[in-house]
Chains A and B, each alone.
Chain A
Amino acid sequence: MSKPLKQIHLAAHFPGVNNTTVWTDPASGSQIDFSSFAHLARTAERAKFDFLFLAEGLRLREQNNQIYDLDVVGRPDTFTVLSALAAVTDKLGLAGTINSTFNEPYDVARQFASLDHLSAGRAAWNVVTSWDEFTGQNFRRGGYLAQEDRYERARQFLAATWELFDSWQGDEIVADKESGTFLKNPAPGRFDHHVSQFDISGHFDVPRSPQGRPVIFQAGDSEEGREFAAAGADAIFTRHGTLEDGRAFYADVKRRLARYGRSPDDLKILPGVTYVLGDTDAEARERADVVRHQQVSGQTAIKFLEQLWNRDLSSYDPDGPLPAIDPLVGENTVARGRASVRMHRDPLATAAQWRALAEEKKLSIRELIIEVTGRQSFIGSPATVADALDEFVQTDAGDGFILVPHLVPGGLDEFADTVVPLLQERGVFRTEYEGDTLRDHLGLGELRAGDADRRAAS
């Protein structure tokens, strides 16, 4: 017998600020009304997904010193919208991206512990480390953190919140009316944390939550980011959504776990992926092409090019050839608040590659951008997509997926109705929730004693 089939983990990403949501589609609904969030969450729960996921951006993006206006923009506060979603779902995990730079451990710990209580054990925290001064201008201390320090702060932040989450024993609330004992311990929640980023002590005021602490996600791809995840995360939200990339990333990250006394199953790798379905593969490919052209208008293509070129290219024709001039190298002054800009660490080399590609395939600016940005990950009939998803997971390119629909709020419906049953038939996806908490859904097992120490030491 071959080894048993891996079970696929599935999550739904409510698409926030981005150019992938096709807001011009007549079926596109509100990006901010609660009904949209509730619909996506209910669909995900109906399909037995592990969790719903929200990204975060704490300042509106700008380009050429103006607020960027071509993409979907505007999003709710993460904690509160997840807490509200706990009211309209029973089992679905609720994962929120919360920055470790523009927050304080006490506040974040109490909100996640509260969310975990209010959702009966379904909270997850995607720890992101964005640090820029641009975003810092919205916060009390402003842009105070050097880039080199962001993972240091993130590590210390996580260790500090860990100490807070672990500061109450599970059985400290006695609430015995007869004897009049509410609390076992007169001073629960004790913590004391003195490190370079934090100088905090006292008593945490939220009793231990159902999961003990939220499930921890990490999103970030650098060497430091991978190490941070290996040391302290339960899951990674990654962009490595192709088989080849996925396998390399998977092998690299899982290899790192042993150093922290962890086994490969302790960390789930979940790429964010898109999909386009059709009755046939050909129909799906046609739909995908239409979607890509809706996602990347001529203006959007020029704006994307400007982000790499780091200069104003508004006089260029999106249906014409790439600029003959080179990108401006150095500090990015054109695009601000955009993580993707940092992906191209050598703009001149990328520009040369893009030129070569455009010449070879005879691509206009717009077609080139369609080609090089945000490829559709899974395109085809439900059977084709189910096959591809399964292969991806069984061959260790990932442990599952965070699916990003390109329509709000109905963009997951078709997937739930057509692909999920096929995965269930293959025996690679649950037909019923087996547990109540997100840790249960992700198969993460019990929290282990010493987790906090191990992470703090990392």
Chain B
Amino acid sequence: MPRSPSALHLAVALDGAGWHPAAWREPAARPGELFTARYWADLVTEAEQGLLDLVTIEDALSLQSTDLDGLDGRTDQVRGRLDAVLIAARIAPLTRHIGLVPTTVVTHTEPFHVSKAIATVDFVSGGRAGVRVKVSGRGDEAAHFGRRTVPRLRVDELDTPAGRAALKELFDEAADYVEVLRRLWDSWEDDAEIRDAATGRFIDREKLHYIDFEGDRFSVKGPSITPRPPQGQPIVSALAHRTEPFRLVARSADLGFVTPRDTAHATEIVTEIREAQTAAGRADETVHVFGDLVVFIDDDPAAAADRKAALDERAGAPYTSDARVFTGTPAQLADLLQDLQQAGLTGFRLRPGTLPHDLTAITRGLVPELQRRGAFRTEYRADTLRGLLGLTRPVNRYADV
């Protein structure tokens, strides 16, 4: 079914008290509850009331820091968090429609464990799970595991030959990791459980498959201990800012989050990803590309700008981000999204500057505005995340056709 050209997908990115470092000091913020299930349930329920496609949940394997490779000694910002995959699982039984996409760090974790964890979130949610894979180049995270060192790179070194080589290594490993996740999800055919009383067999072992993955960094035998999840393949996503991660999105993901500065930049990014997608032999597969924006939304544009300015003052510095920072009204944001969408973005992931304020502004301000324009759904029309994203349930790669 062709999608109406104006329909766009919407996600929100949840992190702590919001993306602004001073967000936790806002009157409506609940900084003392960041480590409770209720806090996360309330946010995701709100997002679901806004009919959003999915929420992502940020994560890392170290304390938050403004320093890229260790602690910054600050006591005035949110520090500490819960495992995002467990948050997603905890929320799943409390929601019905919205996609749940936790972040997982692939550099230090086991693909076998993560594969079954995401499959389980898919079972628990009835087919609404995804995962955002993230590489880690942080020395402190490597030291937390003590199994490997990672090259120390500053952001301004990433585009040097050494930087590119290091990134390539991390992202090639991430691609291997995703390949293992996907093979493990397919390692049970959908009808592997037969419960054949006549022959006494619970499963048909012909429908279970060793994945026999051998890569440069690790090998995995399989099959999974968890049956194929409801979506067959939960959604794999990644955040991407430059060529190596663009390639990861293009060859391995269903959904990429990108950070365009403007429409021209968005066009460049989408072109690069589509070319890499073709080069990877996936030209005929749907790979969504969502633009990321940090948003501060109020009904009066000055109020939004003032609110951000006040937060900046509290934080002691103007807030900047890898993503474009928007302040304004729901209608202005709708204009911006529709404009950026012209570049070929299929949706947006909005990072609320403060929670719950900017999330509520999305669900109760932006969404109705987009609906008025016919650019966003007025009800959930699918029960699975794949369904919401217009993706079909994939055939199992191991099944005989």
Choose from B141, B144, B225 the contact partner of A58 (Cβ within 8 Å): B225
Tell me how far the C-beta of B222 lies from the nearest C-beta in chain A, rounded to whole angstroms.
Answer: 7
A23 and B143 contact, Cβ closer than 8 Å, known pairs A177-B31, A202-B62: no
Contact present for A72 and B110 (CB under 8 Å): no
The CA-CA distance from A189 to B140 in the complex, in Å, is 13
In the complex, whether B71 has a CB less than 8 A from a CB of chain A is yes
Identify which of A70, A88, A201 contacts B201 (C-beta below 8 A).
A70
A-contact bits for B41-68, CB 8 A (1 contact / 0 none): 1000000000000000000111110000
Assembled-state Cα–Cα distance A111/B61 (Å): 11
Cβ proximity bits B93-112 to A, threshold 8 Å, 1 near / 0 not: 11000000000000011101
Give Cα A75 to B29, complex, Å.
39
Residue B133 interfacial (CB < 8 Å): no
Q: Which of B140-172 contact A (CB under 8 A)?
A: 140-141, 143-147
Q: How far is the CB of B29 from chain A (nearest CB, A)?
A: 7
Taking CB atoms and an 8 Å cut-off, the chain A residues in 174-219 that contact chain B are 175, 177, 180-189, 198-203, 205-207
| Distance in angstroms between the alpha carbons of A23 and B80 in the assembled complex | 44
Expressed in whole angstroms, the minimum distance between the Cβ of B213 and any Cβ of chain A is 10
Question: Does A76 contact B226, Cβ atoms closer than 8 Å?
Answer: yes
> Please, how many angstroms separate the alpha-carbon atoms of A16 and B62 in the complex?
34
Q: How far is the CA of A84 from the CA of B123 in the complex (A)?
A: 10
Find the A residue at minimum CB distance from B230.
Answer: A33
Q: Cβ of B146 and Cβ of A87 under 8 Å apart?
A: no
The listed residue (A33, A76, A106, A189) touching B119 by CB distance below 8 A is A76
A300 to B199, CA, bound (A): 11
CA distance A201 to B62 in the complex (A): 11
In the complex, which of the residues A137, A183, A200 contacts B146, with contact meaning CB atoms closer than 8 Å? A200
Stretch at the interface among A6-14, A115-123, A220-228: A115-123
Contacts of A340 in B (CB 8 A): none
Complex Cα distance, B143 from A189, in Å, reads 14
**Judging by beta carbons under 8 Å apart, are B93 and A38 in contact?**
yes
Assess the A182–B225 pair: CB atoms within 8 A. no
CB atoms of A102 and B110 under 8 A apart: yes
A118 to B147, Cβ gap below 8 A?
A: no
Which of A59-67, A254-262, A327-335, A426-434 is the interface stretch? A59-67
Contact A87 B31 (CB under 8 A): no
A182 and B110 in contact, given A69-B204, A138-B222, A205-B62 (Cβ under 8 angstroms): no
Q: Which of B32-40, B295-303, B325-333, B361-369 sits within the interface? A: B32-40
1/0 contact string of B76-98 vs chain A (CB within 8 Å): 11111111011111111110000
Complex: chain B residue closest to A86, CB-CB: B90
Chain A neighbourhood of B245, CB < 8 A? none
Q: Does B280 contact A (CB under 8 A)?
A: no
Question: Is A139 in contact with B201, judged by CB distance below 8 angstroms?
Answer: no
Q: Which A residues touch B78, using CB under 8 A?
A: 182
| A87 and B308 alpha carbons, distance in the complex (Å) | 35
Residues of A contacting B85 with CB < 8 Å?
79-80
Number of interface residues of A (CB under 8 A): 77
A57 touches B75 (CB 8 A): no
A107 lies within 8 A of B89 (CB): no
Whether a CB of chain A sits under 8 angstroms from the CB of B124 is yes
Distance of A189 Cα from B202 Cα, bound (Å): 47
Q: Give the docked Cα–Cα distance between A141 and B63 (Å).
A: 26
A60 to B200, CA, bound (A): 18
Which of B78, B108, B117 has the most A CB atoms < 10 Å from its CB? B117
* B91 neighbours in A (Cβ, 8 Å): 87
Q: Is B223 an interface residue (CB 8 A)?
A: yes
Nearest residue, chain B, Cβ from A197: B146
Cβ-defined contact, A72 with B202, below 8 A: yes
CB distance from B21 to the nearest CB of A (A): 10
B25 interface residue, CB < 8 Å from A? yes
| A132 beta carbon closer than 8 Å to chain B | no
Q: Does A242 contact B (CB under 8 A)?
A: no
Q: Are B80 and A71 in contact (CB under 8 A)?
A: no
Using a CB-CB cutoff of 8 Å, which residues 210-263 of chain B contact chain A?
217-223, 225-227
Task: Identify which of A184, A200, A205, A207 contacts B145 (C-beta below 8 A).
Answer: A200
Q: Are B227 and A84 in contact (CB under 8 A)?
A: no
Q: How many residues of B contact A (CB 8 A)?
A: 81
Cβ distance A335 to chain B, nearest Cβ, rounded Å: 15
Cα–Cα distance between A183 and B35 once the two chains are bound (Å)? 14
A345 at the interface (CB under 8 A from B): no
A294 → chain B, closest Cβ, in Å? Answer: 10
Distance in angstroms from B297 CB to nearest chain A CB is 21
- In the complex, chain A residues whose CB is within 8 Å of the CB of B22: 180
Q: Would you give the shortest CB distance from B243 to chain A, in whole angstroms? A: 27
Annotate B350-380 by CB proximity to A: 1 below 8 A, 0 otherwise. Answer: 0000000000000000000000000000000
Give Cα A376–Cα B109 distance, bound, in whole angstroms.
40
Complex Cα distance A103/B147, Å? 12
Known: A77-B113, A198-B146, A205-B61. A183 touches B124 (CB 8 A): no
Q: Tell whether A418 is near chain B: CB-to-CB under 8 Å.
A: no
Specify which of B110, B200, B227 is in contact with A70 (CB 8 Å cutoff): B200
Known: A175-B31, A202-B140. A74 touches B225 (CB 8 A): yes
Structural contact, A74 and B188, CB atoms closer than 8 A? yes
B204 with A106: CB separation less than 8 A: no
Residue-by-residue, is B184-202 near A (CB-CB < 8 Å gives 1, otherwise 0)?
Answer: 0000100001010100111
CB distance from A204 to the nearest CB of B (A): 8
Complex contact A87–B94 (CB within 8 A)? yes
A2: Cβ under 8 A from any B Cβ = no
Q: Is the CB of A71 within 8 A of B225?
A: no
A114 an interface residue at 8 Å Cβ cutoff? yes
| A24 close to B197 (CB less than 8 A) | yes
Asked if A297 CB lies within 8 Å of chain B CBs, one says yes
The digit string for A74-105, where 1 denotes a CB below 8 A from any CB of B, is 11110111011011100000000000001110
Q: Across chains A and B, which 7 residue pairs bring their CB atoms closest together, nearest first?
A: A137-B221, A114-B83, A80-B89, A175-B31, A83-B89, A77-B116, A200-B146
If A74-B188, A84-B93, A201-B143 are given as contacts, then 15 extra A-B residue pairs at C-beta distance below 8 Å, sorted by A number, are: A32-B123, A58-B225, A59-B221, A70-B200, A75-B225, A87-B92, A104-B145, A106-B108, A139-B220, A177-B24, A177-B31, A187-B71, A189-B80, A207-B80, A299-B200
Q: Which A residues contact B (CB, under 8 angstroms)?
A: 17, 23-24, 32-34, 38, 57-60, 66-67, 69-77, 79-81, 83-84, 86-88, 102-104, 106-107, 110-111, 113-115, 117-120, 137-142, 168, 173, 175, 177, 180-189, 198-203, 205-207, 297-300
21 A-B pairs in the complex with CB atoms less than 8 angstroms apart: A23-B202, A58-B112, A60-B225, A69-B202, A69-B203, A77-B226, A81-B120, A86-B90, A106-B108, A107-B145, A117-B37, A118-B37, A120-B37, A139-B112, A140-B218, A168-B80, A177-B27, A177-B29, A181-B76, A202-B140, A203-B140
